Structure 1
Amino acid sequence: MLVSVERVVLHVDLDQFIVAVELLRHPELRGKPVLVGGSGDPKQRGVVAGASYEAREFGVRSGTPLRTAAARCPDAVFLPADRETYLAASADVMAALQEIGGVVEVAGWDEAFMLVDTDDAEETARSVQRHVRERTALACSVGIGDNKLRAKLASGLAKPAGVFRLDMSNWVAVMASRPTDALWGVGSKTAKKLAARGIATVGDLARTAMADLAGEFGPNIGPWLVALAHGYDSTPVTAEPYQARSHGREVTFQRDLRDTAEMRAEVVRLAHVVSDDLAVEDALARRVVVKVRDSRFATHTHGVSLPAPTREAAAIEQAALAALARFPLDRPVRLLGVRAELARSG
């Protein structure tokens, strides 16, 4: 009897990862609305880094200000963020995936792609879930696809802790009626531009001629958007080590900064922290970006390219200060950030 073997892409996405790690330390909080972020004090400034499914029912998501989260979900339990613990948990998960075999591509601290040959894709996906849970006690959703785009979208449809298959055979049935920003790679700004042209759904976008979008979105991005709507993606799954595109640090102040000298001093401090981070990661920066959020929550960025890739603190500082100088700084500042965009190796 011949056994049919197919090659599929799996997207493994850890469920409510940050909260799930905290629940391993605080099992008594299971089933309760839990929010992780900042110092864990909702009276202080900061944003939500992770929200349990119970908290999300109140409209709280990652990035929600802690005070807003507390107002929306007054019964929530707030916990401080613990980045090093989450990184360690992520490393354990990725090590578990490596044990399974196939090609594993780490896509972030809570997600990975796998390229596997299998005679039962659904059972393989469930075996991945079992192995991750046995090794780490964490739950994951697994999307099955015939490329990375479809696998990534499938894992979102599998949540929580489920398995879903999205490929050429059911792409139209599943995706055609969904809004364009349901596509991986289409953000809210692009979706609004498309909607202004009468393109509201993935099906609308798929029926659009590539040339019609080239004028507004460019000769590369325009056709690419239409290709996405058809579910096309030729990006390979690769076992090359994961490389972040940028590394940054930011701080939300408990009182707004009004003195530009204080702002400059804080940017200098952040620039040196970023420089130290780059040294630890053996990475080089090619561009430095400063983010400013003012007292009205307006957020803007300015960047400065470096003459040559570097991790030297003096160069990072100089570029960060040059970027800061491009802001008017005419309003009190509640958040400052410095981000190094990384030079790609080899």
Structure 2
Amino acid sequence: MRYILHIDMDAFFASIEQRDNPNLKGKPIVVGGKPDKRGVVCAASYEARVFGVKSAMSSKAAERLCRNLIFVPVNKNKYKKASNYIRDIFKRYSLNIEPLSLDEAYIEIFDEDPMYIAKSIKKDIKKELNLTCSVGIAHNKFLAKLASDMDKPNGITMINEEEVLDILSPLPIRKLWGVGPKTAKLLNSMGIYTINDIQNYDESVLVDRLGKKGRELMMFAKGIDNRKIEGESLPQSISEENTFSYDIDNLEYIHEKLDEYSEDIYNRIIKKGYKYKTITIKLKYDDFSIETRSYTLESAADKLETLKNISSYIFDNKFHIEKKIRLLGLGVSNFIYPNEPEQIKLNLDSYF
């Protein structure tokens, strides 16, 4: 028997901050920037969610919903460390792991009691990290993820094959994997509001309106998901970006920030042994327009000075700055990974 467990940490960033600071326990907190700094909510505690505070909303909007909201700055290194520890706990029970983010992952197990595995993982995380998680168990990824959301926080839900259709039928279509606001609006225009509506819809019409996605939605509506556990993939890019607390027209300051971002990115890639070939700068202006410019090296580099110098070159020579800058981003991509040979393009003209 094959089972998929979807493990979702409960309010991960916020729970870590409440764990580490007893004064924050039981209080509505947000991990993210402050309202007067154009902050964004990265995570909200369950006490804050009661007021409607959600991740990705502006800190100003969050504060309007909850006047006694406490804002805690983001500590990426601390959350990454906890995530790595949790990943090691998963490996005690299975090596078939597909991380989705710092706070959630799929685990695949064969011929084992899934409820015992789920309880053991929860127990280890609670004992060793003093954090809680919610676990969904099913025979595929879609249903496992759906199940983990059915009893939060700190719950376990298992969906058995014989009850799949009964569980899915009354749910709104937004519960289907891949259905966002735009797709939901289109489905609503077709008279589809629940998963049961899709189950009983003419599949040929769905395919005609939505193409391949129409067929996928029909399969998900019936609880069919053939996606495999993909394992941990190598990153395609590493970047750093921030929205400034006020619009910037001081280009010297931008250069200082590029050096700062370069050092942060360099420290992250050097630990992994990556080399980079492409450097990209992203600017968002005070009118919210966005520009990106890139430069690709002839051969891969792993030096901090190279990253700093090319970043400065891109900014000085590939942008025509006439507006104040609201956001600055720097990223590297086109990696050469450890033990991966680099393909070098030869200039054959030089040989003749």
Q: Across the two proteins, how many residue pairs are aligned to each other?
A: 334
Match of 2:114 among 111, 118, 121: 121
Alignment partner for residue 253 of structure 1, among 237, 244, 248?
244
Counterpart amino acid of 1:195?
A: N
Taking only aligned residues, the RMSD between alpha carbons, in angstroms, comes to 3.8
Instruction: Work out which of the residue numbers 112, 117, 134 in structure 1 matches 2:127.
Output: 134
- Aligned positions of 1:37-76 closer than 5 A: 37-38=32-33, 41-76=34-69
2 CA distance for matches of 1:187 and 1:110?
Answer: 21
CA deviations on 1:187-217 (whole Å, 9 max, x unpaired) are: 2222223333333322333344444344554
Residue equivalent to 1:88: 81
Decide which of 232, 235, 242 is 1:241's aligned counterpart.
232
Equivalent residues of 2:207, 2:215 under 8 A apart: yes
C-alpha deviation, 1:150, in angstroms: 1.0
Alignment of 1:185-334 (within 5 A): 185-218=178-211, 220-238=212-230, 240-257=231-248, 270=261, 274=265, 277-283=268-274, 295=286, 313=307, 317=311, 333-334=325-326
Aligned counterparts of 1:12 and 1:231: Cα–Cα separation in 2: 19
Matching residue of 1:169: 162
Q: Distance in 2 between matches of 1:10 and 1:281?
A: 28
> Any idea what the Cα deviations from partners look like across 1:267-315, whole Å, max 9, x if unmatched?
787577546644444456788776665557x576768796989567389
For residues 208-238 of structure 1, the C-alpha deviation after alignment (integer angstroms, 9 at most, x for no partner) is 44443445544x3332233222222222225
Say which SS state the counterpart of residue 120 (structure 2) adopts: helix
Q: CA deviation at 1:159?
A: 1.1
How far the C-alpha of 1:335 sits from its partner, in A, is: 2.7
Give CA-to-partner distance per residue, 1:75-107, whole Å, 9 cap, x none. 122211111011111111111121234633333
Change (3 A) 1:157 1:273: same
1:69 Cα deviation after fit: 1.9
Residue 14 of structure 2 is aligned to residue 19 of structure 1:
yes
Corresponding letter in the other structure for 1:243? L
Of 99-108 and 7-16, deviating more is 99-108
State the match for 2:2 in structure 1. Answer: 7
* Corresponding position of 1:3: none
For the 8 Å contact 2:300–2:336, the answer to whether it is kept is no
| CA–CA separation in structure 2 for the residues paired with 1:320 and 1:221 | 40
Write the distance in 2 (CA, Å) between the matches of 1:197 and 1:308.
52
Shift of 1:27: 2.1
Gaps of 5+ in 1: 1-5
Distance 1:74 1:213, change over 3 A: same
SS of structure 1 residue aligned to 2:142:
helix
Normalised to the residue count of structure 1, the TM-score between the two structures is: 0.78
Q: CA deviation at 1:53?
A: 0.4
CA shift digits 1:293-344 (9 cap, x unpaired): 5557x5767687969895673898499769x86xx98875533334556669
Deviations 1:23-74 (A, max 9, x none): 2211232111011113xx4432221111100101112111222222222211
Structure 1 distance, partners of 2:199, 2:311, is 46
